[in-house]
Structure 1
Amino acid sequence: MQLTKITTLSVAVAAALAVSACGKKQEAPAASAEAGTQVVKIGFAAPLTGPQAHYGEEYKNGVTLAIEDANAEKPTIGGKPVSFELIAEDDQADPKTATQLAQKFVDQQVNGIIGHFNSGTSIPASKIYSDAGIPMIAMATAPQFTQQGFKTTFRSMTSDTQQGSVMGKFVVDKLGAKKIVIVDDRTAYGQGLADEFEKAVKAAGGEVVKREFTNDKATDFAAILTSIKAVSPDVVFYGGADAQSAPMAKQMKRLGLTAPLVSGEMTKTPTFLKLAGKEADGTIASLAGLPLEQMPKGKDYESRYKARFNMDVATYSPYGYDATRAMIDAMKQANSAEPAKYLPVLAKISHTGVTSSNWSYDDKGDLKDGGITVYKVENGEWKVLETVGGGAAPAPAAGASAAQ
C-alpha cells in the first residue's frame, strides 16, 4: 500500500512538471464572471521569461488592457452577457514549447489566440491552430507566416517584406551607403528580415560585400566584427533582438567601426538603449507602424497604459491591444464566439484601433494599412527620421548620412 501511494504521488508530481515545462501559466487578473455569463477564453503566448521577456510582458499588457476595456463595456454576444478571460502562457521563444502550448490551448477549447510573439514560434504553432480552426493574430513578421495558405493566420504588424524593403532602400538612397554588411541571428525573424533587406539593397543599387551569421544567444561578436572591419563597410545591418544588437553596438564602437548599426523593431526598444549605453548613439532601426504620437488614438492609449501599468509604452503593446479588440469586435459582429462563425468576419474586419483607423486584412492575413517608421538614437533617445506609408506624410531623414 505504501508503494502504491508513493507511485501515485510520483505520477502526480511528474504530470505537474510536464505541464510546467510547456510554459508558465500567467492569467491576467479579472473579476469572476457573474452567474449566467458566458466565459470566452482568449489564449496568449509569448516569451515571459528569459532574455526576451520584456517583449512578451509588454505585449501581454496591451492584451490585458484590451480585455479589461472590453469587459468594462458589459458586452453581449447572441443576446447573452459575456466575459472575456485571458489565458496567458510562456512559450519561452522556443518553437517546441510553442507547439506544446498550442495543443494545450486547443485542448482547453480557447475561442481565439493572440500571439505568438516570435516568427519562429508562430509558424509551427499556426499549423496546430489551423487544424483546429482557431483564429490566431500573431506579432510574427516573417513573410512565411501568412504564406502557408492557412485561413486562420493574421498579423498584428506589417511583415518583414515591407520593413526590409523600406530599410534596404533607405540605407542606399538616404544614407548614401554603397558597401553593406549583413549579420543575422538565424531565427525565422532575424534571417527573414535580413533576406528582405538584402533584396532591397541590391534593387536600390547597393552592394552586400559580406554576410555573417550568429545566434540568438551570442554576446561576443569580436571575431565577426574584426572580419567586418576589414572590408570597411558603410553600414552594418543586424537582423535579430536587442539582447544581441546592444552588445554588438558597443563592440563596434570599441573596435573603431565607424559604420552605423542598422536593425529592425526588436532593436528599437528602451532595453537596447539601456544595454548599449552611450554606444547606442547613431544606431538606426525600423519599426512597423506609426510613432505613438502619430497613431490615431496613441496619446489616449499612452496615458491609460501608464496609469494601468505604471510604465511607458515601449513597442508592442498597442498592437497587442488592437489585435485583441479586433478579434473581440469580430465575435460581436458575428454574434458568436465560435471560431468557425467569427473567422470569416475577422478576415473582412474593418476596425478602428489605436494604431490604425482601418485595421483590416488582405486575403493572406497581412495588414493592409501598415506604415514603417525609421528611427535613430540621438543623445540616448530614439528620434524619428522618416515614416513611410500608414497614412503619414514621409518626413525628411534629417541630417542622416552614412558617415554618422
Structure 2
Amino acid sequence: MGTCMQLNKIIGALALMGLAGAAAAQETVVKIGVSGPLSGAQAFAGKDNENGVRLAVEELNAKPITVGGKKVKFELMSEDDQADPKAGVGAAQKLVDSGVKYIVGPYNSGVTIPASRVYNDGGALVATVASNPKITEQGYKGLFRVNASDTQLGSKMALYAAKELKLKTVAVIDDRTAFGQGVAEEFKKQAKVSGLNVVGHEFTTDKAADFTSILTNLKAKKVEAIFLGGYAPQGAPMARQMKQLGLNAKLLGGDTICSAEMGKLGGDAVGDNVLCAQGGAILDKAAAGPAFKDRYKKRFNQDPDVYAASFYDGMMMYADAMKKANTIEAAKVGEEIAKGSYKGVAGTYAFDDKGNMKSSPVTIFTFKGGQPLPLTSY
C-alpha cells in the first residue's frame, strides 16, 4: 500500500513538473536594453528614463501580451553609458552580445551616433530621444527617434524668442557635445531668419562649472538672451553666475535644461528668466498624461522628469508592434513600427522613411518654484 502511495506521489510530482515545463514553454522571454547616464552629473536624467521603461515593463508583465501563441515576459537590462561616446559603444556591445534586440535609449546624441552602428550591426531596434539630426541620416532601418530633433527644438526656441519675447540681441554658448553643438546651430540659423541679431557664439564643455569670463564678455555686448546648447549641470551654475554678474538676460535652452534638476541646482537664480524647448505636448493636457504621472509617482515616489513618458512610450510601442506583427523577430517588428502608428502618452509615433516622427510638437517651458512650467505647445 505504502509503495503504491509513494508511486502515486512520484507520478503526481512528475505530472506537475510536466505541467510546469509546459507552462514555461508557453512563455517567451524578451530582453529589453536601456542605455543612459546612470552615474555622474546627468544620472538624474538617466534614472528617470530608465524608470519610464521599468514602469512599462512591469505593467506589461502584470498583464502579459500574447505573441505567436505564447505569453511574453520582458526582462530589463540596463547599462550605464556615462553620457560618454566610448562608454556608450561598450554598453551597446555588451547589450548586443547578451542577445538584446530591443533598445530604449541612448539619451545623449554624442553616445547615440557611434552606438547606433553597433546596434544596427547586431540587428537590434533602437528607440531614442537623442535629437541631433545626424542620428537619422545614417540610414539605419531599425532606428526610430521618439522625440523632436534639434532642428525643431532649436528653431522653435528661436521663433519664441523673436515672436513672443520680442527680443533683438542674443548670443549662443555651446558645450561642443553632439547635442549642444547641433541644437545651438539650429537656434542660430532660425534666429537670423527671424531677424534676431546674434552677437556672439562662445564655447565651453559639458564638464565646466565656471562661465564668468564668457558671461562678462556677453554682458559687454548687452545681450537680452543667451541660448545654451548644453545640459542642466552647466545651465544651473550659468544662471547663478548671470545673476551674480548682474547680467539681466534670459537663459534659453533645449530639452536638456527643461528639468527639475535645473531648479534644484540653480535655486532662486532659476525662474521666469529661464526658458526651454522640449519635444512632446504638455503632459498635463495629453489624454493619458495625468494618469501616467500618477502611476509613475506611486511607483517611484517622485514626479516624472523630461523624458520618462517618451521612454515609457518607446517600450509600449515595441510591445504594440510585436502584437500587430505577431512575432518577436526584431526585423519584422521594425517593419511594423516603420509602416504603422502608435498613440502613446507623450505623442503619436508615426515615422518618416528616415525614422523621424512625422509630427512632433514642441513645448516651451519656464520655471516656477524650481519646477518646469509649460507655457505653450506648437
Using the size of structure 1 for normalisation, the TM-score is 0.86
Amino acid at match of 2:118: I
Cα deviation digits, residues 201-256 of structure 1 (max 9, x gap): 01111111100000000000011111111100111110110000000000001101
How far apart, CA to CA, are the structure 1 residues paired with 2:113 and 2:189?
Answer: 22
CA shift, 1:379, in A, is 4.8
1:347 aligns with one of 338, 341, 346: 338
How far apart, CA to CA, are the structure 1 residues paired with 2:77 and 2:23?
Answer: 18
How far apart, CA to CA, are the structure 2 residues paired with 1:78 and 1:60?
Answer: 28
- Structure 2 partner of 1:61: 51
Q: Are 1:99 and 2:103 matched, yes or no?
A: no
3-state SS, counterpart of residue 201 of structure 1 = helix
How far apart, CA to CA, are the structure 2 residues paired with 1:89 and 1:382?
Answer: 28
Change (3 A) 1:311 1:381: closer
Amino acid at match of 2:102: G
CA shift, 1:288, in A, is 0.9
How far apart, CA to CA, are the structure 1 residues paired with 2:51 and 2:99?
Answer: 23
RMSD of Structure 2 on Structure 1 (CA): 1.3
Change (3 A) 1:379 1:299: closer
Contact 2:282 2:363 in 1 (8 A): yes
Amino acid at match of 1:346: I
Task: Summarize the alignment of residues 148-159 of structure 1 with structure 2, pairs less than 5 Å apart.
Answer: 148-159=138-149
Q: Are 1:231 and 2:243 matched, yes or no?
A: no
Contact 1:66 1:325 in 2 (8 A): yes
CA shift, 1:340, in A, is 1.8
CA shift, 1:105, in A, is 1.6
Q: Are 1:74 and 2:48 matched, yes or no?
A: no
Q: Are 1:47 and 2:37 matched, yes or no?
A: yes
How far apart, CA to CA, are the structure 1 residues paired with 2:79 and 2:373?
Answer: 34
How far apart, CA to CA, are the structure 1 residues paired with 2:221 and 2:266?
Answer: 24
Q: Are 1:307 and 2:321 matched, yes or no?
A: no
How far apart, CA to CA, are the structure 1 residues paired with 2:74 and 2:370?
Answer: 40
Change (3 A) 1:34 1:46: farther
Task: Summarize the alignment of residues 109-120 of structure 1 with structure 2, pairs less than 5 Å apart.
Answer: 109-120=99-110
Task: Summarize the alignment of residues 325-404 of structure 1 with structure 2, pairs less than 5 Å apart.
Answer: 325-356=316-347, 358-388=348-378
Contact 2:146 2:349 in 1 (8 A): no
Q: Are 1:294 and 2:281 matched, yes or no?
A: no
Overall identity of the aligned pairs, in %:
44
Q: Are 1:123 and 2:113 matched, yes or no?
A: yes
CA shift, 1:336, in A, is 1.2
- Structure 2 partner of 1:262: 252
Greater Rg over alpha carbons, structure: 2
Contact 1:250 1:276 in 2 (8 A): yes
Amino acid at match of 1:249: A
Instruction: Name the stretch that deviates more: 104-113 or 321-330.
Output: 104-113
Amino acid at match of 1:154: F
Contact 1:362 1:368 in 2 (8 A): yes
Gaps of 5+ in 2: 1-21
Contact 1:296 1:355 in 2 (8 A): no
1:194 aligns with one of 178, 181, 184: 184
Change (3 A) 1:34 1:285: farther
How far apart, CA to CA, are the structure 1 residues paired with 2:63 and 2:350?
Answer: 23
Change (3 A) 1:352 1:277: same
Change (3 A) 1:95 1:34: farther
Amino acid at match of 1:372: V
How far apart, CA to CA, are the structure 2 residues paired with 1:117 and 1:65?
Answer: 18
How far apart, CA to CA, are the structure 1 residues paired with 2:307 and 2:101?
Answer: 23
- Structure 2 partner of 1:283: 274
1:319 aligns with one of 286, 293, 310: 310
Amino acid at match of 1:376: T
How far apart, CA to CA, are the structure 1 residues paired with 2:232 and 2:217?
Answer: 22
Q: Are 1:253 and 2:243 matched, yes or no?
A: yes
Using the size of structure 2 for normalisation, the TM-score is 0.91
- Structure with bigger helix share is 2
- Structure 2 partner of 1:396: none
CA shift, 1:88, in A, is 0.7
Contact 1:326 1:349 in 2 (8 A): no
Amino acid at match of 2:221: V
CA shift, 1:34, in A, is 6.1
Contact 1:111 1:337 in 2 (8 A): no
Number of aligned residue pairs: 355
3-state SS, counterpart of residue 342 of structure 2 = coil
CA shift, 1:58, in A, is 0.3
Cα deviation digits, residues 177-216 of structure 1 (max 9, x gap): 1111000111011111001000100111111110000000
Contact 2:153 2:255 in 1 (8 A): no
